[in-house]
Amino acid sequence: MSSKQKLMVVIGTRPEAIKLAPVVDAIRRSDWAECELVLTGQHKELLLPLIERFGLQVDHNLNVMRENQTLSHVTARILQSMDDLLVQSQPAAVIGQGDTASVLAGSMASFFRRIPFAHVEAGLRTGNIDLPFPEELNRVLTSRMTRWHFAPTGMAQDNLLREGFDPASIWVTGNTVIDALHMMLSQSDVALPSRPGRPFVLITAHRRENLGEPMQHICAAILQLAQLHPGMDFIYPVHPNPGVRQIVHRALQGQSNVLLVEPCDYPVFCQLMSRARLILSDSGGVQEEAPALGKPVLVLREETERPEAVALGCNLLVGTDTSRIVDAAQTLLLDRTVYDRMAHAGSPYGDGQASQRILEVLRQTLIT
Ligand code: UDP
């Protein structure tokens, strides 16, 4: 039997896989811990290519997803399956990331079994319990069940301190997404959907709160921009959610310089971000990755739990109003001074060493 400490890592969705892959990697390279990797099965088609890309070995797949499942059902199924697994595996600690049903149910199951929980990317808040829904609630509740809060930034740490958590349970580590970005940018054997010699704007938009009318406004802005800039492409990897696909395809299909493509493999997407002129996105991860690549982001949301990049000036919050998006994009595409100021504003989310710091904290507490 191995004398190493067993760390159980729980992954449900694409961003969790990206942000926990470097942690899994650090565990595997350590001489004191071993990893037991659990997929809850929340995302399938977006997750499996990532698992392969990062060379992750999956130990358990809880396979919880059912068609048209409600949030309560998915959370309950993960909670129950995690409980069974914890009894069977008896890990020394459980590690989860972010704000999904997987991290909520994973931390709760660990709490009920008195197994300490480590929360990666702890302390993000909008301060509005309804936005984003249900992620703000998921992360607020997860914090209450957490033993180690790994805050990516000082602002996230401040949020936790304001909520009364013990300062000795919080560590500022940087965001592990920058570790993942470094791992992926070294892969050069990728085929890109961009067209040779044509500059492009990169777009992602699929958040729950943007479905429906906001998404229509975003698409109207993309269409206007594409018509204003025929020499430029607008590359949009469209999320598999049918609610997103229907609106996007209806609004943008047929515009020759709008390239609607399938969701990209992570290394492809990293290369696209690093080559894009500008990025329009409502994604959390993209708001963290793009500043590390010196790319301005117009954030297609009314508020963000990542205010560091906005405060620094590398990201701009534009919401989903069509003319506001078009005006902001036009300024950046036409005014070099404004563009350079944003592109060189800096990167507040870490240095690529977050996973090592997290592992070191766990080692110091678990190996006594
Ligand atoms: N991403 C990707 N392929 C794509 C679009 C995004 O690999 O076609 C990556 C992106 O770099 C980021 C993550 O997926 O790291 C963001 O996922 P998502 O927007 O689903 O979640 P969020 O970051 O908002 O939690």
Q: CA-to-CA distance for 106 and 12, rounded, in angstroms?
A: 10
Which tokens sit at 163?
Answer: 């909520």
Distance 212 CA to ligand 1 centre (A): 20
Phi-psi region for residue 212, left (φ > 0), alpha (ψ -120 to 50) or beta? Answer: left
Tell me, yes or no, if 135 is annotated catalytic.
yes
- Looking at the CA of residue 287, tell me the nearest atom of ligand 1: 23
Mutate to test the pocket of ligand 1, among 14, 97, 99, 194 (most ligand atoms within 8 A of CB): 14
Atom nearest to 270 CA in ligand 1: 11
Q: Which residues, in sequence order, are CB contacts of 219 under 8 Å at separation 6+?
A: 247, 248, 251, 252
Q: What is the pLDDT of residue 26?
A: 98
Strands 33-39 and 60-61: parallel
- Amino acid letter, 131: L
| Active-site hit among 25, 135, 233, 305 | 135
Instruction: Tell me phi and psi for residue 197, to 5 degrees.
Output: 80, 0
Q: Take atom 2 of ligand 1 and give the residue whose Cα is closest.
A: 266
User: Would residue 233 show up in a list of annotated catalytic residues for this protein?
Assistant: no
Ligand 1 within 6 A of CB of 352: no
> Does the annotation mark 303 as catalytic?
no
Please provide residue 50's backbone torsions phi and psi, each rounded to the nearest 5 degrees: -70, -40
Nearest CA to ligand 1 atom 18: 283
Ramachandran area for residue 90 (φ above 0: left; ψ -120 to 50: alpha; else beta) = left
Atom 9 of ligand 1, residue of closest alpha carbon: 266
- How far apart CA 115 and CA 109 sit, in angstroms, is 9
> Given this model, what pLDDT does residue 1 score?
56
| Pocket flag, ligand 1, residue 174 (CB < 6 Å) | no
Contacts of residue 186, Cβ cutoff 8 Å, sequence gap at least 6: none
173/356 Cα distance (integer angstroms): 9
- Low-confidence spans in the chain with pLDDT less than 50: none
Burial 51-64 (b: 16+ CB within 10 A, else e): bebbebeeebebeb
Q: Is the CB of 239 under 6 A from ligand 1?
A: no
What's this model's pTM, rounded to 2 decimal places? 0.96
Q: Does residue 206 carry a catalytic annotation?
A: yes
Token look-up 């300490």 returns 116
Active site residue 119: no
Residue 14 CB–ligand 1 contact under 6 Å: yes
* Nearest ligand 1 atom to alpha carbon 261: 8
pLDDT tens profile 45-74:
889 899 999 999 999 999 998 888 999 999
Centre of ligand 1 to C-alpha 46, Å, is 9
266 lines ligand 1 (CB under 6 A): yes
CA 244 to chain centre: 18
CA of 66 to the centre of ligand 1 (A): 23
Determine whether the shortest distance from the Cβ of 178 to ligand 1 is under 6 A: no
pLDDT computed for residue 243 by the predictor: 94
Residue 105 Cα to ligand 1 midpoint, Å, equals 22
The question of whether 179 is a catalytic residue gets the answer no
Q: What is the pLDDT of residue 187?
A: 80
